[in-house]
């Protein structure tokens, strides 16, 4: 009996599940083969991809981005430098983690077959996975890690073991080395441990374990940046992001209403105000029409970039990494100062647009193969052994239209998730829906905490929000399934009562 209740038995000894896994494996291989026929080369994001390759090539402990993905690139290069092999690995990792997530949900919650089939059809042929995997970027890796981590949390709240505490700690640590978004994961993990059947001692151990490994990594990274720049900081990226976000509000402050800034910000502030004055013509500067973007962080014409270069104008020794990292603390302070001075404008011109982007994230860089460029940087050519710096596709151009439906789909699924959640609460689902209520609470915690982090401190885009999109879409359908089953039970109860009343009326009882 215990064997029949195991996950392994559920996967491999159930006819439906065996058939699904077999067909999924065939579909995954066929999709990847067809995709690589049309896109024989990996795709690159200008800046991001090449920084990851640089970090891997030089084996750096710190850089502009987190080093976890670069560690994967370096490890993978021990076996092969083939970009096709790397893309295949990333794609199979996403699909494997997604199927692990799905079948765990099927195992614990037993949704109706039509919902299971719908979810499998949503996951296996999902074109987003192919395009994410084809990029030399941390997006695919982080998506897979997040799915694995969340699935482990599901096991913790339903069938906790000591081994799961170790796996959760390891997965959250690796995810944190890959992307800053994982900063919220210990909070979500702590909630999972609190609602789990673990003893208080093991709950405490699980929570402390997550915080400890992340704290050690933060301390190590901060010390490395201190050695590089002379100032302890965990992530210069956060400082740049803060200043970037603040500028989207500050742009709409009229010059006559500008408040004085402290002396240490004055030169930077003057450059930013002059920049705004010189870019009022949106026909000449269309990038200025964007709201809640990241242009000010990376555009060479941005005052943030120009001010950085000005600080090192007489320095021929410092490399770009040191220059960029050195500005993090100042930009973080400046951004926070501007936000505090103009909170209403910050809400109107950054938080509100970013909230809209979160609920329907733009396709962004995924709208074109290799960002629409035919060439790759020399480091990519050398790393993957390309014969030429040109990349090609067998399609007529580099435009990608297959993902254009995603912002609309995401918006719809967010609405379905919220509406079904309201209905779930109305019918006392959190009191009666055991064990589904625990998993739903966990999904809600991810949705709320991730929304807060993304809207306030980041920038929403499809590739960044792939994990919460999959999570919300899946649990939206699971809620719909529960509501449908509940309505059927109510109808059966009504019919039973009605039949009993008829029997009583006829005198048969």
Query: 68-82, 285-299, 316-330: which range is least confident on average?
Result: 285-299
- Domain locations along the chain: 236-359, 408-509
Exposure on the CB side of residue 270, measured as CA atoms within 13 A? 5
Contact status, residue 165 vs residue 116, Cβ threshold 8 Å: no
Would the pLDDT of 1 be above 60?
A: no
Helix residue spans in 347-426 (DSSP H): 352-359, 378-384, 406-426
Average pLDDT over residues 187-202: 97
pLDDT at 252 over 60: yes
SS (H, E, C) 20-68: HHHHHHHHHHHHHHHHHHHCCCCECCCCHHHHHHHHHHHCCCCCCCCCH
Cβ-count burial of 500 within 10 angstroms (0-12 exposed, 13-18 middle, 19+ buried)? exposed
Nearest to 206 by CA among 266, 165, 241: 165
pLDDT tens-place string over residues 20-69: 999 999 999 999 999 999 999 999 998 899 999 999 999 999 999 999 99
- pLDDT at position 328, please? 95
The residue among 81, 69, 51 whose CA lies nearest residue 141 is 69
Distance CA 248, CA 362 (A): 18
Q: Is pLDDT of 394 > 60? A: yes
Structure tokens at 130: 């192919």
Q: Is 463 helix (H, G, I), strand (E, B) or coil?
A: coil
Burial of 294 (0-12, 13-18, 19+ CB in 10 A): middle
pLDDT at position 500 = 72
pLDDT on residue 3: 63
Q: What is the pLDDT of residues 489-503, one digit of tens each?
A: 766 666 676 667 667
* Token duo for residue 167: 């796996």
CA–CA distance, 458 with 238 (Å, rounded to integer): 9
Contact 203, 178 (CB under 8 A): no
**Res. 177: pLDDT tops 80:** yes
Bond prior to 435 in cis (omega within 30° of 0): yes
How far apart (Å, rounded) are the C-alpha atoms in residues 72 and 51?
14
Cβ(70)–Cβ(55) below 8 Å? yes
Q: Which residues of 167-184 are buried (b: 16+ CB within 10 A; e: fewer)?
A: bbbebbbbbbbbbbbbbb
- Tell me the whole-structure pTM to 2 decimals: 0.94
**Local structure of residue 260 (DSSP, 8 states):** P
Instruction: Give CA separation, 94 vs 134, 146, 147, 289, 470, in Å.
Output: 12, 10, 8, 35, 12
| pLDDT of 481 above 60 | yes
Helices (H) and strands (E) in the chain, counts: 24, 0
Report the distance separating Cα 239 and Cα 217, nearest Å.
Answer: 19
What average pLDDT is seen over the chain? 93
CA distance 135 to 49: 8
DSSP class of 258: P
State the Rg of the chain over Cα: 26
Cα(288)–Cα(279) distance, integer angstroms: 7
Task: Over range 365-386, report the average pLDDT.
Answer: 94
pLDDT confidence band for 237 (50 / 70 / 90): very high
């Amino acid at each position: 009996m215990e064997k029949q209740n195991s996950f392994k038995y559920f996967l491999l000894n159930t006819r439906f599940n065996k058939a699904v896994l077999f067909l999924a494996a065939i579909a995954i291989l066929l999709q990847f083969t067809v995709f690589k026929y049309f896109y024989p080369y990996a795709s690159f994001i200008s800046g991001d991809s090449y920084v990851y390759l640089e970090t891997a090539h030089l084996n750096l402990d710190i850089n502009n981005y987190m080093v976890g993905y670069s560690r994967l690139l370096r490890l993978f290069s021990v076996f092969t430098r083939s970009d096709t092999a790397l893309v295949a690995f990333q794609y199979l990792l996403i699909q494997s983690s997604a199927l692990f997530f799905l079948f765990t949900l099927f195992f614990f919650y037993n949704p109706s077959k039509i919902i299971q089939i719908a979810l499998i059809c949503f996951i296996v042929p999902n074109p987003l996975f192919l395009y994410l995997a084809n990029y030399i970027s941390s997006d695919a890796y982080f998506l897979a890690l997040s799915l694995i981590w969340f699935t482990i949390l599901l096991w913790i709240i339903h069938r906790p073991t000591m081994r799961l505490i170790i796996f959760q700690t390891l997965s959250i640590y690796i995810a944190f080395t890959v992307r800053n978004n994982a900063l919220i994961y210990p909070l979500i993990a702590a909630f999972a441990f609190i609602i789990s059947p673990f003893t208080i001692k093991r709950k405490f151990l699980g929570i402390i374990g997550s915080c400890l490994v992340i704290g050690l990594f933060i301390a190590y990274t901060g010390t490395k940046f201190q050695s590089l720049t002379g100032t302890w900081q965990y992530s210069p990226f956060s400082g740049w992001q803060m200043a970037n976000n603040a500028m989207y509000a500050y742009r709409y402050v009229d010059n006559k209403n500008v408040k004085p800034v402290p002396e240490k910000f004055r030169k930077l502030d003057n450059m930013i105000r002059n920049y705004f004055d010189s870019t009022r013509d949106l026909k000449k500067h269309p990038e200025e029409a964007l709201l809640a973007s990241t242009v000010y962080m990376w555009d060479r014409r941005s005052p943030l970039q120009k001010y950085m270069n000005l600080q090192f104008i007489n320095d021929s020794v410092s490399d770009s990494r040191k220059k960029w990292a050195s500005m993090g603390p100042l930009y973080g302070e400046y951004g926070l100062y501007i936000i505090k001075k103009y909170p209403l404008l910050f809400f109107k011109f950054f938080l509100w647009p970013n909230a809209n982007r979160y609920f329907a994230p733009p396709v962004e860089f995924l709208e074109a193969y290799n960002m629409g460029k035919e060439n790759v940087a020399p480091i990519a050519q050398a790393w993957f052994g390309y014969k030429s710096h040109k990349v090609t596709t067998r399609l007529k151009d580099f435009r990608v239209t297959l993902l254009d439906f995603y912002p609309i789909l995401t918006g719809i699924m967010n609405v379905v998730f919220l509406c079904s959640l309201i209905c779930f609460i109305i019918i006392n689902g959190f009191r009666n829906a055991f064990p589904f209520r625990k998993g739903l609470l966990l999904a809600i915690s991810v949705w709320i905490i991730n929304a807060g982090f993304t809207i306030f401190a980041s920038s929403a885009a499809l590739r960044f929000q792939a994990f919460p999109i999959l999570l919300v879409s899946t649990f939206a359908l699971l809620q719909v399934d529960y509501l449908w089953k509940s309505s059927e039970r109510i109808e059966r109860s009504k019919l039973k009562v009605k039949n009993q009343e008829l029997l009583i009326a006829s005198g048969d009882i």
